């Protein structure tokens, strides 16, 4: 059994012409996260705290499509979705369509820990965040110059855009997620996103849907997904991937099987990261790029923009 492990992602899709500077910012963003996660895990912190912290760091980093820097919908607004799941007891929490709170994954954790519910949406989620003491920000706070340009371009072309497949030169990506396996062998997962650019107001992707954009069970695996949410919902990808784990199938194999299923059944576009019940790391994608990083068994940090296993 592994001591501890951590894998994170920052979106999937097909990147073209990414400048060296941008590439470096993604890799630096991942490294910051992994460094913090590694510190926490080595000190014995639980996987739930680690995935929340890693996702918070990426939500606060404007290059990722989550929290500040999220993509803009067809009405010119930002609506964020997030989820978190504790594999030790299957407790889970998620929020849909948050507009004014900068760390949606922490609000999702509060839903899990302070209510009897799993999901809160829209106005109710906003009121809950406010009553729970989360700081309010104007919606404009979340919009970056690059996102505004991306939204204008998407509107012109009358299409929704998976963040990583950006239309212009200001490549901006992507949905974020983390899966951790702690010293006790507990698994947790978290996912946070602004969704897809130019989405209809009220559209809900896979990221806050348990089983689609996230899943965690100590008996199987923890999974976080990124890609065209509608396809991931239809294939219940995260649960499907976790269900592949068996005595003869570990995380890398399970990710491969799930990505084949996504590709073959709906021509789905995206990727997943996973840690299985033994602490093995895996990831897979049906597209060229998966921005991700992990701490492998040798405790070294690994980061890459392309699927690595
Ligand atoms: N899965 C997210 C959604 O559909 C988008 C992404 O992963 O980039 O909302």
* Residue 280 Cβ contacting ligand 1 at under 6 Å: no
Cα 1 to averaged position of ligand 1 atoms, centre (Å): 32
- 97-100: long-range contacts, CB 8 A cutoff, minimum separation 24: 97/121, 97/122, 97/125, 97/202, 97/204, 98/125, 98/126, 98/129, 99/126, 99/139, 100/126, 100/129, 100/136, 100/137, 100/138, 100/139
Q: Is the Cβ atom of 192 under 6 angstroms away from ligand 1?
A: no
Q: Which atom of ligand 1 is nearest to 226's Cα?
A: 7
Question: Does residue 271 line the site of ligand 1, with CB under 6 A?
Answer: no
Closest residue CA from atom 5 of ligand 1: 195
Q: What is the pLDDT of residue 167?
A: 44
Ligand 1 atom, smallest distance to 163 CA: 8
Cross-strand pairs, 216 = 222
List the end-to-end C-alpha distance of the chain, in Å, as a whole number. Answer: 19
User: Pocket of ligand 1, candidates 79, 147, 192, 213: which has the most ligand atoms within 8 Å of its Cβ, to mutate?
Assistant: 213
pLDDT in the model for residue 253: 98
Catalytic positions are 175
CB atoms within 10 A of CB 104: 35
Select the CATH number that applies to the domain covering 5-304 from these four: 3.30.43.10, 3.30.70.1150, 3.30.70.2700, 3.60.20.30.
Answer: 3.60.20.30
The per-residue pLDDT for 1 is: 52
Q: Tokens 């901006």 appear where? A: 172
Q: Which atom of ligand 1 is nearest to the CA of 173?
A: 8
* Helix 122-131, helix 104-114: angle, nearest 10: 80
Residues marked as binding?
203-206, 226-229
Q: Structural domain boundaries of the chain?
A: 5-304
pLDDT at 119: 98
227 CA: nearest ligand 1 atom: 7
Q: How far is the CA of 245 from the centre of ligand 1 (A)?
A: 24
CB atoms within 10 A of CB 141: 11
Distance 243 CA to ligand 1 centre (A): 22
Whether 174 lines ligand 1, by a CB cut-off of 6 Å, is yes
- Each residue's pLDDT expressed in tens, for the chain with a length of 309 residues: 558 999 999 999 877 777 888 889 899 999 999 999 999 999 999 999 999 999 999 999 999 999 998 988 888 899 999 999 999 999 999 999 999 999 999 999 999 999 999 999 999 999 999 999 999 988 778 777 777 777 777 777 666 666 555 543 333 457 999 999 999 999 999 999 999 888 999 999 999 999 999 999 999 999 999 999 999 999 999 999 999 999 999 999 999 999 999 999 999 999 999 999 999 999 999 998 899 999 976 778 889 888 876
Give the pLDDT confidence score for residue 163 in this predicted structure.
59
Pairing of β 221-227 and β 270-276: antiparallel
pLDDT at position 171 is 37
For residue 166 and ligand 1, the question of a CB distance below 6 A is answered with no
Inter-axis angle of helices 104-114 and 47-60, nearest 10:
150
Residue of 10, 69, 195 with the most ligand 1 atoms within 8 Å of its CB, for mutation: 195
Q: Do the beta carbons of residue 81 and residue 66 sit within 8 Å? A: no
pLDDT value at position 157?
67
Q: Establish whether residue 207 lines the binding site of ligand 1, counting it when its CB lies within 6 angstroms of any ligand atom.
A: yes
- Indicate whether residue 205 lines ligand 1 (CB < 6 A): yes
Residues contributing to the annotated binding site for substrate: 203-206, 226-229
The predicted structure's pLDDT at residue 69? 87
């Amino acid at each position: 059994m592994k001591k501890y492990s951590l894998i994170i992602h920052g979106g999937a899709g097909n990147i073209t012409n990414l400048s060296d500077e941008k590439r470096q910012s993604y890799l630096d963003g991942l490294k910051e996260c992994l460094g913090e996660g590694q510190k926490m895990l080595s000190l014995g912190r639980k996987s739930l705290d680690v995935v929340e912290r890693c996702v918070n760091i990426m939500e606060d980093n404007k290059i990722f499509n989550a929290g500040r820097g999220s993509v803009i919908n067809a009405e010119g607004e930002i609506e964020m979705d997030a989820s978190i799941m504790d594999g030790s007891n299957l407790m889970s929490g998620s929020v849909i369509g948050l507009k004014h709170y900068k760390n949606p994954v922490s609000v999702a954790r509060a839903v899990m820990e302070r209510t009897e519910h799993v999901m809160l949406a829209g106005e109710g989620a906003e009121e809950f965040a406010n009553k729970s003491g989360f700081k309010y920000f104007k919606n404009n706070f979340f919009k970056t110059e690059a996102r505004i340009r991306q939204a204008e371009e998407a509107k012109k072309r009358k299409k929704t855009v998976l963040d990583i497949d950006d239309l212009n030169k200001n490549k901006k990506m992507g949905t974020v997620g983390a899966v951790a396996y702690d010293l006790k062998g507990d698994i947790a997962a978290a996912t946070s996103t602004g969704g897809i650019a130019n989405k209809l107001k009220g559209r809900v992707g896979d990221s806050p849907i348990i089983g689609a954009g996230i899943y965690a069970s100590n008996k199987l695996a923890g999974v976080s997904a990124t890609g065209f949410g509608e396809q991931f919902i239809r294939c219940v990808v995260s649960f499907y991937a976790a269900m592949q784990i068996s005595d003869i199938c570990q995380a890398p194999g399970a990710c491969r099987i799930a990505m084949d299923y996504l590709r073959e059944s709906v021509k789905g576009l995206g990727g997943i990261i996973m840690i299985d019940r033994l602490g093995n790391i895996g990831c897979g994608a049906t597209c060229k790029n998966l921005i991700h990083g992990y701490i492998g068994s040798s405790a070294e940090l690994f980061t890459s923009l392309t699927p690595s296993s």
